[in-house]
Amino acid sequence: MAKYVPSIGLEVHAELSTVTKVFCGCPTTVGVPPNTQVCPVCLGFPGVLPALNRQVVEYGLRAALAMNCEITRPSIFERKGYYYPDLPKNFQISQKRSPLGLHGHLEIGVDGASKRVGISDVHIEEDAAKLLHPEEDTAHSLVDFNRGGVGLLEIVSEPDMNSPAEVEAYMTAIRNMLLYLDISEARMEQGQLRFEASVSVRPEGHDELGTRVEIKNLNSFRAVLGAVEYEIERQTAALEKGEALHQETRLWDDERGVTETMRRKETSEDYRYFPEPDLVPLEIDGEWIARVRSELPELAEQRARRFAAEYELTEYDANILTTEKALADLFEETVKVGAPAKAAANWVTGRLLYHVNEQGLDLADLKLTPAALAELISLIESDTITGAAARQVFDQIVTSGEMPKTVVEALGLTQISDDDAIASIVQEVIAEHADAVESYRKGKENALKFLVGQVMRKTKGRANPQVVNDLLRKKLMEA
């Protein structure tokens, strides 16, 4: 049977984190009461005039240049006509024929290998309002116009991805890029990052792409991957049975885990694009482009390579550290204030991530400062506290923001390395656990571990484990 190759492209809509909206001066603060950040422009009143937000262009330029795009000069705003309750003007101001950036690419890493995904187009547009469908009142829907008119960046990839793993790597790379460029908060649960996927499948060896299906309504990595996997299977099964596929738009049903036909054969003609008469062509001068290009920050990929070389980390650790900008910053600042790189990397990729995942925390919620982490590491290296005590301190300061020394003093966690002090506790433990002592003498190494554990318990983890081990062995030999 023929093998089938999927080709996947993604459209990403990212809400830009500018202070005001794209065509009016309304603020973009999230979490405020509905319809409190609105004006006649973003409510789409007749006769109002849009005025382009310079910061939106600046942010768009950053992304377009970071993805190696050619900057279109001039780029043109157009009206994309469609009727929906979240769009009172009945058109969205977007860019179609002359988008801000064209012909770029982004490098993604999959299984240690690097792959280049083409970016066909990067453009600026306005977000629609948010529709709410209250469960208690199914007869009505509510519209929150606070989101209407917020600046969006749409990033359209070529159908260059051939597996769900590549799609996941691409989404991660896009999200990281937005965070590293500081142009979007990219919080998916807030709808600040939304996806549409196009999926087609063709027999191996065929150059021409198969019939393309677009999937809308994808608001999380999980939804995108679920929909892509479902479509690859559905299309492959259809081709194997000799059935025809339709070019169509399908909707992802998150609960049932399936895609369903929404409409067939949608083309851009349906949107009746035409140039927005109220905005002049956007001519970005060479100086502006050159300045933004020169100010581009180091991105995740470059940073991972630099971390590996500069701090002698494994490629694996360097990649984990750089997936989230906040993590990479914490690591690097900790090293800058004096911590050894290997120890800092271990704490950040180990205990910190464990803690974050375990508690379901957001990195932004953490109060741990680089100075605090560096101090904690120095307390271990100077044998002031044990590894066990350090973990206890860490779990507290990671969300409290306290300095480790304060916590060590408050909890009385200073390590006991004094042989005499430990010796008397060792003696106690030996006296209390004759059974274990007996088994150790019969050659059971595990019994020693148990006895060490008992000493650590009595000292609340403050005894130097090496000293405990040595003393125990010595005493057990003597007795």
Q: Which stretch binds Zn ion (CB under 5 A): 34-42, 175-183, 316-324, 386-394?
A: 34-42
Give the residue with the Cβ less far from Zn ion, 126 or 160. 126
Residue 57 as a binder of Zn ion (CB under 5 A): the answer is no
Comparison of 24 and 292: residue with beta carbon closer to Zn ion = 24
Please name which of 160, 178, 145 lies closest in space to residue 64, comparing C-alpha atoms: 178
Q: Tell me how far, at minimum, the Cβ of 80 lies from Mn ion, in Å.
A: 8
Show Cβ contacts of residue 51 under 8 Å, excluding neighbours closer than 6 positions.
23, 24, 41
Q: Binds 468, which of Zn ion, Mn ion, none (CB < 5 to 8 A, cut-off by type)?
A: none
Q: Are 353 and 321 in contact (CB under 8 A)?
A: no
- Binding to Zn ion in span 36-55, by CB under 5 A: 39, 41-42
User: Using the rule CB under 5 A, is 251 a contact of Zn ion?
Assistant: no
β-strand pairing of 101-110 with 91-94? unpaired
Minimal distance, residue 147 CB to Zn ion, in Å = 11
For residue 15, the surrounding DSSP H or E stretch is strand 4-15
The residue ranges that bind Mn ion (CB under 5 A) are 154
**Nearer to Zn ion by C-beta: 43 or 476?**
43
Instruction: Closer to Zn ion by CB, 41 or 389: give it.
Output: 41
Amino acid at residue number 338: G
Q: Are strands 213-218 and 193-203 parallel, antiparallel or unpaired?
A: antiparallel
* Cα-only R_g, the chain: 29
Beta bridge partners of 399: none
- Whole-number minimum distance, CB 277 to Mn ion, in Å? 20
Q: How far is the CB of 16 from Mn ion (least distance, A)?
A: 13
- Is residue 26 part of the contact set for Zn ion (CB under 5 A)? yes
Neighbours of 233 (CB within 10 A): 12
CB of 349 to Mn ion, least distance (A): 37
Q: Does 356 bind Zn ion (CB under 5 A)?
A: no
DSSP 346-413: HHIIIIIHHHHHHHT--GGG----HHHHHHHHHHHHTTSS-HHHHHHHHHHHHHH---HHHHHHHHT-
Q: Which residues contact 97 (CB under 8 A, 6 or more apart)?
A: 76, 78, 273
Nearer to Mn ion, 95 or 415 (CB): 95
Instruction: State the binding partner of 39 from Mn ion, Zn ion, none, CB within 5 to 8 A by kind.
Output: Zn ion
User: How would you classify residue 203: left for phi > 0, otherwise alpha for psi between -120 and 50, otherwise beta?
Assistant: beta
**Nearest distance from residue 23's CB to Zn ion, in Å?**
8
The reply to whether 150 sits near Zn ion by the rule CB under 5 A is no
Residue 24 partner contact from Mn ion, Zn ion, none using kind-dependent CB cut-offs of 5 to 8 Å: Zn ion
Work out what residue 154 binds among Mn ion, Zn ion, none; the CB cut-off runs from 5 to 8 Å by kind.
Mn ion
Which residues make up the interface to Zn ion (CB under 5 A)? 24, 26, 39, 41-42
